[in-house]
């Protein structure tokens, strides 16, 4: 994005979104618009007068806005802009302009979905649906029989999940209007919920599917059901192509499904890879995948239930770290009714552009931002970790490539990790996750790991089972004293392995609350203790910040947003929003081995002169502090040049002049490594 210019202009585009043709049963009214703006400095949006997040896709020159408003106003600032040069719009095939969608449904309403699937999906910010058997809503023994009660289903609704009609009796032979109608009535009476999706019980493409189609399609107006989830045999695939507009028939919309844990079928990961290939091919297709589960239970004596749990956790971890926010961020994960209703809104909403500029606009809002911290990636070097060993109470392990955690008494191992967090002053942390890559485990017993915020400072090169640092002991060996060494309550607890056979995969911990605390009170950031919550003789290894593959090292991801700034009046009758400022931070270090990469033993260089330049020339200078740090704050969005004046006796190994892009409300990092020049001593020759 170009630097802010005095000759830049702001132009507006106004759109009316007519939803009058959308059926009244559609409750999800969001529509994503892609608006062509070209190369610009900044973009803002308002829906019905309220600020909206807008994503600027620099590569395609698009502003991407999602709204349920009736009127959308877009403001674009840049060089040489006119009303005619911007504003061509299209409706995105999927919400937020994602490349493909994934919907997960759990049939029957088993209690394990509430106990295990809900917290597992919540860590990733994902939501699913439950196909409810109606009679368990009217019975008092649901819990004893392993089904969700009204209370658990209400919590699922509160977490953004959806509920589907799965029949009242669930008997394979009970195929009639009354069975479907009683389930609808139970959902309304017990939960005040109107289901729009019918999930066929005991699916079979030859018998049950056709029989249920006749019942549901013949009574659409009575039941209020709009979608039918049928068996794989309906179309042979869980893929639905969504590029073309849909026309709502008098009958229901039919979609196929597959069980993600059925060993005779392809693994979900292969379907995800297929969806990615379709979306990124030379002839791209946007697809929607629908997979089903039943009873994912890692503690069940039934190996099929355990296999289902493994299939769920392994596939979701792969999805998130490959195609979700931890990877390319191209997939939309949502319940099937929500995805379907977006397709309806996209097909029936009419968008009309008007070129009228407003007399006044309100405050702006930035989209949520995701920042990741991983040692050696993107110039970040603030991570330190080690592990403690009960049977070697004075041994250190801070340079190890793996972190080991073990649960057996007398043989325990625990991991410590800490990372320096750049400030996000004034930002609201939406969520924070810690991702750890398991490199292997000793057996498949299953081990629950708890992540505790540490209360005591420690030094990675000195920490042992006995001591936090040289001369400072833990109150209880292994940092196990609640309220002294660590907090009493864990930030999160995750079941590792659980009789699953995939030993190398990602695990995610929810650390939202502790990261909020660390950002508000940096002095309380002593990192985390990861220890086994069980007395089980099982050992798990995780990639450390020293692991040979940087992409597998621990990752902290923070999703945050900035509060809307106050608008700034201009001399013209139009109030032009002022772009949020950004900032540049960095460090200068001594590159001892002269390889251009900062290693753990390479220290900072202080009092190094750093110059900041923009279009107007030299803007600011600073000298690095005791930790080699420097910062240029309150910068307008644009391109800047940061130059390091090499200290005497050193030469740069990273380049001494670097270009840095500054974006609204974001932090940009730049680092300089310096290698000490070799001294050549010449013999003294006397004449």
The DSSP string of 289-343 is EEEEES---TT-SSHHHHHHHHHHHHHHHHHHHHHSTTTT--EEE--HHHHHHHH
Residue 266: is its pLDDT beyond 70? Answer: no
Contact 252, 226 (CB under 8 A): yes
Please, which residues have CB within 8 angstroms of residue 90's CB and are 6 or more apart in sequence? 33, 34
| 299 class by beta-carbon count within 10 Å (0-12 exposed, 13-18 middle, 19+ buried) | middle
Q: What is the model's pLDDT at position 572?
A: 41
pLDDT digits (tens, 9 = 90+) for 50-63: 889 999 998 999 99
Q: What is the model's pLDDT at position 363?
A: 64
Angstrom distance (rounded) from CA 178 to CA 198: 14
Q: What is the model's pLDDT at position 78?
A: 87
The two structure tokens encoding residue 251: 């009958």
Contact 193, 135 (CB under 8 A): no
Residue 631: is its pLDDT beyond 60? Answer: yes
Angstrom distance (rounded) from CA 237 to CA 657: 54
Instruction: Kindly report which listed range (33-47, 235-249, 376-390, 516-530) carries the lowest average pLDDT score.
Output: 235-249
In 3-state terms, the chain is what percent helix, strand and coil (to 5)? 20, 35, 50
> Which is more confident, 11 or 104?
104
pLDDT digits (tens, 9 = 90+) for 370-424: 899 999 988 889 999 999 999 999 999 988 899 999 998 899 999 999 999 988 8
Q: What is the model's pLDDT at position 548?
A: 95
The DSSP string of 613-656 is EETTEEEEEEE--TTSEEEEEEEPSEEEEEEE-PPTTEEESS-S
Residue 514, SS3? helix
pLDDT digits (tens, 9 = 90+) for 556-590: 999 998 766 544 444 444 444 445 677 888 889 89
Q: What is the model's pLDDT at position 571?
A: 41
Please, which residues have CB within 8 angstroms of residue 566's CB and are 6 or more apart in sequence? 363
Give residue 342's Cα distance to chain centre. Answer: 21
Q: How many other C-beta atoms lie within 10 A of the C-beta of residue 1?
A: 19
Contact 389, 465 (CB under 8 A): yes
> Which is more confident, 262 or 37?
37
Q: What is the model's pLDDT at position 35?
A: 96
Please, which residues have CB within 8 angstroms of residue 585's CB and are 6 or more apart in sequence? 422, 629, 630, 631, 632, 667, 668, 669, 670
Exposure letters 170-204 (e unless 16+ CB within 10 A, then b)? beeeebeeebbbbbbebbeebbebebbbbbbbbbe
pLDDT digits (tens, 9 = 90+) for 448-467: 999 999 999 999 999 999 99
Residue 130: is its pLDDT beyond 70? Answer: yes
Angstrom distance (rounded) from CA 671 to CA 600: 15
Give the residue-averaged pLDDT of 96-108: 96
Highest mean pLDDT among 87-91, 98-102, 408-412: 98-102
Contact 419, 527 (CB under 8 A): yes
Over pLDDT 70: what percentage of the chain? 91
Instruction: Write the CA distances from 342 to 50, 161, 289, 644, 664, integer angstroms.
Output: 22, 16, 15, 51, 30
End-to-end CA, the chain: 65
The DSSP string of 236-298 is SSSEEE-SS-----SSPEEE--EETT-TTS--HHHHHHHHHHHHHSSS---EEEEEEES---T
- What residue ranges define each of the domains in the chain, with the CATH number in brackets? 9-96 (no CATH), 100-329 (3.20.20.370), 369-561 (2.60.120), 582-676 (2.60.40.10)
Give residue 376's Cα distance to chain centre. Answer: 21
Mean pLDDT of the chain: 88
What is the side-by-side order of every strand in the sheet holding 31-36? 54-57, 62-67, 31-36, 89-91
**Length in residues, the chain:** 687
pLDDT digits (tens, 9 = 90+) for 521-545: 999 999 999 999 888 889 999 999 9
What radius of gyration, in Å, describes the C-alpha atoms of the chain?
29
Q: What is the DSSP letter of 368?
A: P
pLDDT digits (tens, 9 = 90+) for 165-221: 999 999 988 999 999 999 999 999 999 999 999 999 988 888 899 999 999 999 999
Q: How many other C-beta atoms lie within 10 A of the C-beta of residue 97?
A: 22
The DSSP string of 533-568 is SS----EEEEE-TT-SSGGGS-EEEEEEEPPPPPPB
Q: What is the DSSP letter of 97?
A: G
């Amino acid at each position: 994005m170009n630097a802010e210019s005095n000759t830049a202009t702001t132009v507006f585009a106004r759109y009316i979104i007519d939803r009058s043709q959308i059926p009244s049963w559609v409750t999800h009214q969001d529509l994503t618009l892609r608006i062509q703006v070209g190369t610009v400095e900044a973009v803002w949006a308002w829906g019905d007068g309220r600020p909206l997040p807008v994503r600027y896709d620099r590569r395609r020159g698009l502003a991407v806005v999602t709204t349920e408003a009736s009127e959308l106003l877009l403001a674009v600032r840049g060089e040489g802009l006119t009303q005619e040069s911007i504003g061509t719009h299209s409706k995105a095939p999927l919400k937020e302009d994602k490349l493909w969608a994934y919907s997960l449904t759990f049939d029957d309403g088993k209690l394990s979905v509430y106990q295990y699937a809900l917290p597992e999906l919540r860590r990733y910010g994902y939501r699913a649906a439950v196909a409810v058997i109606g009679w368990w809503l009217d019975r008092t023994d649901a819990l004893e029989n392993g089904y969700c009660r009204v209370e658990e289903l209400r919590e699922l609704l509160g977490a953004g999940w959806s509920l589907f009609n799965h029949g009242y009796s669930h008997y394979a032979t009970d195929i009639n209007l009354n069975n479907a109608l009683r389930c609808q009535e139970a959902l309304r009476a017990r939960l005040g919920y109107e289901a729009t999706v019918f999930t066929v019980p005991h699916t079979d493409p030859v018998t049950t599917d056709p029989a249920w189609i006749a019942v549901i399609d013949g009574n659409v107006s009575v039941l209020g059901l709009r979608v039918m989830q049928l068996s794989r045999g309906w179309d042979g695939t869980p893929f639905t192509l969504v590029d073309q507009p849909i026309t709502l028939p008098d009958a229901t919309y039919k979609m196929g499904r597959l069980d993600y844990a059925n060993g005779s079928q392809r693994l979900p990961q292969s379907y995800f890879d297929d969806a990615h290939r379709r979306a990124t091919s030379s002839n791209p297709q946007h697809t929607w995948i629908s997979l089903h589960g039943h009873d994912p239970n890692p503690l069940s004596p039934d190996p099929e239930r355990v296999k289902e749990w493994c299939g769920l956790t392994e596939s979701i971890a792969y999805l998130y770290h490959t195609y979700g926010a931890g990877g390319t961020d191209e997939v939309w994960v949502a319940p099937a009714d929500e995805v379907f209703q977006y397709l309806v809104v996209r097909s029936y909403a009419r968008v009309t552009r008007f070129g009228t500029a407003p007399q006044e606009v309100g405050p702006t809002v930035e989209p949520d931002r995701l920042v990741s911290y991983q040692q050696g990636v993107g110039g970040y070097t603030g991570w330190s970790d080690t592990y403690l060993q009960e049977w070697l109470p004075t041994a250190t392990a801070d340079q190890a490539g793996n972190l080991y955690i073990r649960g057996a008494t007398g043989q325990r191992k625990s991991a410590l990790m800490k990372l320096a967090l750049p400030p996000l002053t004034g930002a609201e942390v939406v969520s924070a996750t810690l991702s750890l890559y398991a490199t292997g485990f000793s057996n498949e017993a299953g081990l629950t790991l708890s992540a505790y915020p540490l209360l005591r400072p420690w030094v990675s090169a000195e920490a042992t089972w006995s001591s936090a640092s040289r001369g400072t002991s833990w109150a209880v060996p292994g940092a196990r004293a609640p309220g002294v060494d660590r907090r009493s309550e864990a930030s999160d607890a995750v079941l590792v392995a659980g009789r699953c056979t995939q030993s190398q995969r990602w695990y995610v911990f929810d650390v939202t609350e502790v990261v909020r605390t660390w950002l508000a009170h940096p002095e309380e950031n002593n990192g985390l203790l990861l220890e086994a919550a069980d007395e089980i003789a099982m050992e798990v290894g995780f990639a450390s910040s020293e692991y040979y593959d940087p992409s597998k090292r621990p990752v902290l991801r923070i999703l945050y947003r900035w509060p809307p700034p106050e608008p700034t009046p201009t001399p013209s009758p139009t109030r032009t929003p002022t772009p949020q400022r950004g900032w540049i931070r960095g460090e200068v270090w001594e590159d001892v081995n002269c390889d251009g990469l900062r290693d753990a033993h390479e220290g900072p260089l202080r009092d190094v002169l750093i110059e900041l330049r923009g279009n107007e020339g030299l803007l600011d200078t600073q000298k690095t502090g005791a930790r080699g740090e420097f910062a240029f704050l309150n910068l307008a969005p644009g391109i800047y040049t940061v130059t390091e004046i090499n200290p005497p006796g050193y030469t740069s190994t990273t380049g001494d002049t670097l270009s840095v892009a500054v974006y609204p409300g974001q932090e940009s990092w730049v680092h300089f490594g310096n290698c000490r020049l070799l001294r050549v001593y010449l013999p003294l020759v006397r004449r």
